[in-house]
DNA sequence: TCGAATAGTTACCGACCGGTCACACCTATG
DNA sequence: CATAGGTGTGACCGGTCGGTAACTATTCGA
């Protein structure tokens, strides 16, 4: 007999799910509470407002992403280039599995009101991801780590919204190949003749 | 003395602007009508519903984009590679000017309800853009036109949402360089020794 | 066993949403 | 001058939104 999660946890994970499916503005607190098998009053006892809940849900999602990075590093210890390829594959898999894109990025698109507390959560999450990716590129010894990591970041974000806009037959179909081509074009000559190629 | 635009045109262009600023779900028909210096009744006489207006606004935006392509071709006639570079520069400029990203892509993120009439407009627009870009890549004689055009598409979409999520100091900062690097890596050896490079 | 904290229930609030009504207005054309 | 079609006005509809009040039921540790 499994112990039921606490109401607060049920609310957060349910909110994540419903925000993803319907958009943040597309679902009401009442529906979230009901889907979490609780009620609006309990929801408001744990979260002062819907905006609070939004932030908490985004934080919850971003924590799951942090775990993914630890797992990535553990899978190929001391081999950053292998980790980089593994990152690309994982993102491609995530792209294939998930039809809603990145919750954090979607929230950034949806919440236009500047000063919204969620923006800090989103920015913090995205910057963390970018920094870890850049470190990976740097450790992998590619020629222009910042440029490659930004390229991969943009390809990833672009693949997600592209899939939303034009479906899985659009540009996102070639996400993996595009990433691999980008990595290849920045790869340093391995160990022979340590001459750098200009232009 | 300039003649005032017809109410219908005022409504469409105002709706475009307000949808961009506040999001489609973030603005009401009443506010749109008022900002267009007319009223809700007139709005509903021209557009049967808010969804109709959304579609019309998106169509309006996408028509302006079509004009951009014609202008692009005229600026460098019979020089597809120059047009391609010009496309990148124009997108980079647009990225710098516009803080709201692509209206069509944002609408795709925001409108999750499948079957929404706007999805057809969005898909049609995005596919048209992708086809024109692909043709440009093909005419420019790069080695893998589909892969390059999809790469550029993803970089563009990714740059827009990336700017929304992490501001102009994020990955979008290197959008232009990333595009140029991608183009360079697919460029064919110009005219000497017409041998194709494998691998 | 008692008491305090947490959770559930119902009803309610004011605001706003998309959408419609009846009616007055204006202007252009016959 | 008359008439007709597009426009403006304000009130109104049912529904939903985020958020709260008052009260009851449950749980659980001291």
Mutate to test the interface with A, among B62, B102, B112 (most CBs of A within 10 A): B112
CATH of the domain at A12: 1.10.10.60
CATH of the domain at A130: 1.10.357
- Residue A68 shares a structural domain with residue A159: yes
- Residue B41 shares a structural domain with residue B75: no
- Residue B37 shares a structural domain with residue B132: no
Q: Is B103 in a helix, a strand, or coil? A: helix
Q: Name the closest residue on chain B to residue A173, using Cα atoms.
A: B150
Residue B27: pLDDT over 90: yes
Rounded distance in angstroms from the CA atom of residue B29 to the C1' atom of nucleotide D7: 17
pLDDT tens digits along A32-45: 999 999 999 999 99
Which residue's structure tokens are 């853009």? Answer: B129
CB contact under 8 A, B165 and A105: yes
Name which of A25-34, A57-66, B1-10 the model is least confident about: B1-10
pLDDT tens digits along A167-182: 999 999 999 999 999 9
Are the C-beta atoms of A33 and A40 separated by less than 8 Å? Answer: yes
pLDDT confidence band for B4 (50 / 70 / 90) = confident
- Residue A68 shares a structural domain with residue A16: no
**What's the mean pLDDT in A100-115?**
96
Mutate to test the interface with A, among B95, B108, B157 (most CBs of A within 10 A): B157
Are the C-beta atoms of B165 and A110 separated by less than 8 Å? Answer: no
Provide the pLDDT for residue A199: 40
Provide the pLDDT for residue B7: 86
Q: Name the closest residue on chain A to residue B154, using Cα atoms.
A: A158
Mean residue pLDDT across chain B = 93
Could you tell me what percent of chain B has a pLDDT over 70? 93
Name which of A8-12, A187-191, B6-10, B51-55 the model is least confident about: A187-191
Q: Name the closest residue on chain B to residue A153, using Cα atoms.
A: B171
Residue B194: pLDDT over 60: no
Those of residues 26-85 in B touching chain A at CB distance below 8 A are 26
Provide the pLDDT for residue B2: 53
Q: Residue B149 phi/psi, 5° resolution?
A: -70, -40
Domain assignment present for residue A6? The answer is yes
Those of residues 115-174 in A touching chain B at CB distance below 8 A are 122-123, 126-127, 130, 146-147, 149-151, 153-162, 164-167, 170-174
**What's the mean pLDDT in A96-124?**
96
- Residue B157 shares a structural domain with residue B106: yes
Domain assignment present for residue B195? The answer is no
Residue B1: pLDDT over 50: no
- Residue A105 shares a structural domain with residue A161: yes
Range of the domain at A113: 62-186
| B contacts of A164 (beta carbons < 8 Å) | 105, 108-109
| pTM, rounded to two decimals | 0.93
The shortest C-alpha distance from B90 to chain A (Å) reads: 17
Domain assignment present for residue A34? The answer is yes
Are the C-beta atoms of B50 and B111 separated by less than 8 Å? Answer: no
**What's the mean pLDDT in A158-169?**
97
CB contact under 8 A, B26 and A25: yes
- Residue B35 shares a structural domain with residue B102: no
- Residue A79 shares a structural domain with residue A161: yes
Domain count for chain B? 2
- Residue A111 shares a structural domain with residue A135: yes
- Residue B167 shares a structural domain with residue B103: yes
Provide the pLDDT for residue B76: 96
Residue B81: pLDDT over 60: yes
Are the C-beta atoms of B197 and B189 separated by less than 8 Å? Answer: yes
- Residue A119 shares a structural domain with residue A94: yes
CB contact under 8 A, A147 and B181: yes
Q: Is the backbone of residue B159 left (phi > 0), alpha (psi -120 to 50) or beta?
A: alpha
- Residue B16 shares a structural domain with residue B76: no
**What's the mean pLDDT in A125-149?**
97
């Amino acid at each position: 007999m499994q112990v039921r999660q606490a109401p607060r946890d049920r609310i957060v994970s349910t909110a994540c799910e419903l925000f993803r499916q319907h958009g943040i503005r597309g679902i009401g607190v009442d529906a979230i509470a009901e889907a979490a098998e609780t009620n609006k009053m309990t929801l408001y006892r744990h979260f002062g407002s819907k905006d609070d809940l939004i932030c908490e849900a985004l934080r919850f999602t971003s924590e799951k992403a942090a775990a993914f990075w630890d797992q990535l590093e553990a899978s190929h210890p001391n081999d950053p280039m292998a980790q980089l390829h593994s990152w690309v594959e994982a993102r491609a898999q995530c792209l294939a599995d998930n039809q809603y894109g990145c919750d954090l990025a979607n929230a950034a698109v949806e919440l236009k009101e500047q000063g919204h507390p969620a923006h800090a959560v989103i920015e913090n999450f995205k910057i963390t991801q970018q920094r870890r990716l850049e470190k990976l590129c740097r450790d992998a010894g590619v020629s222009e780590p910042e440029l490659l990591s930004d390229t991969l970041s943009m390809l990833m974000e672009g693949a997600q919204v592209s899939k939303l806009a034009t479906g899985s037959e659009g540009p996102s179909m070639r996400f993996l190949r595009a990433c691999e081509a980008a990595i290849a074009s920045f790869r340093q000559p391995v160990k022979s003749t340590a001459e750098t190629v200009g232009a």
